[in-house]
Amino acid sequence: MFEDKNEQRTPLSELGEFGLIQHLTSMVELQHTSSIKGIGDDAAVLEFDKKQILLTTDMLVEGVHFDLSYVPLKHLGYKSVMVNLSDVYAMNGNATQITVSIAVSNRFPLEALEELYEGIHLACKKYNVDLIGGDTTSSTKGLIISITAIGEADKENVVYRNGAKPNDLLVVTGDVGASYLGLQVLEREKEVFKVNPNSQPDLNNYTYLIERQLKPEARKDIPQLLKALEVKPTSMIDISDGLSSEIIHICTQSKVGCNLFEDKIPLDPQVISTCEEFNLDSTTIALSGGEDYELLFTIALDDFDKIKGNPNVTVIGHITEERDGKHLITRVGQKVELTAQGWNALSNK
């Protein structure tokens, strides 16, 4: 981290756009029978039989979504794919293809883009996703990444945000808040580095937090788990902006209210210890941190026995009538209105 390797640098101009795309994607081998045609023509061709196609797109901008002074390009590539795949899994689908468009200024040498694509290819391989197209162009400033993910699902399995019903249970996968804290740790180290470029940061106490921030994993396993457990959620969403914001999305679109129990929110021990160190309230971090890429869903009460005791999921509350409002029930039993404060709001504090 923070080191300048002084590696060989090839100006992008040497390759030209076609050469660049070819160079960056020459190792792609299509994996899915549905990928009829990938890179190399005007458009990609997909073929599905009795499947619904899921499509999602996200754009990441340097200086807005990431800071290259502490985000390695390989991790950035990996994470950019995760952000998109997560949206497909949040529909209870399986991601099958992505396209990647990149605008990049001249300050980036070829090796930088190779590193970025290394992370993209790694994500594709690990998640069994085909890279089927994209666009590479120059920018006047910085790096912009726009990814579109395509997925498929049997029609009857697709889960939307708007199906939550009163008495449904509110369930979250994994734990929350770690990614935002990882960002705080990295920001702090960046400031230390500015003052003393020779300092060697000791990040041992924050490994989980930093990994959650730099190299999150999308929950490909959850749609599979739900299928195996024979549970179809009534609604589902991924946690990109923060737990409270996502709960409110489900409630608003489903026209319901909810009670979320503070003491049920799953936190990693590093989140608790680091919140103490940074003098932050762990519940605020969990609710508003964002970038967890866990899944939040609701299930019918009758399905509780199927998920009970499963280490991948935690029941954190239940759905109520819309008129009852959206509330957090604190550890001491207080009922507080749930408000949406994404990580943007936190950053601006």
Decide the pairing of beta strands 256-261 and 326-329.
parallel
Cα 321 from Cα 296, distance rounded (Å): 19
Site string for a copy of itself, 230-249 (x = CB under 8 A): -------xx-----------
Question: Number of residues in contact with a copy of itself, rule: CB under 8 A?
Answer: 61
39 near a copy of itself (CB under 8 A): no
Quick one: which of 4, 41, 156, 202 contacts a copy of itself (CB under 8 A)? 41
82 near a copy of itself (CB under 8 A): no
Cα 97 from Cα 88, distance rounded (Å): 11
Cα 297 from Cα 91, distance rounded (Å): 10
Q: Which residue in the block uniquely carries the two structure tokens 């029941």?
A: 315
109 near a copy of itself (CB under 8 A): no
Give the nearest distance from C-beta 207 to a copy of itself in angstroms.
29
Q: Which stretch binds a copy of itself (CB under 8 A): 34-42, 192-200, 208-216, 254-262?
A: 34-42
Give the nearest distance from C-beta 52 to a copy of itself in angstroms.
5
Cα 167 from Cα 122, distance rounded (Å): 41
SS3 133: strand
138 near a copy of itself (CB under 8 A): yes
Residue pair 246/237 in contact by the 8 Å Cβ criterion: yes
Q: Which stretch binds a copy of itself (CB under 8 A): 85-93, 113-121, 212-220, 267-275?
A: 85-93
Cα dihedral 294/300/301/302 (nearest 10):
-120
**327: which 2 tokens?**
């509330």
| Binding residues vs a copy of itself (CB under 8 A) | 36-37, 40-50, 52-65, 86-88, 90-91, 93, 97, 99, 101-103, 132-135, 137-142, 144, 146, 148-151, 155, 158, 160-161, 237-238, 253
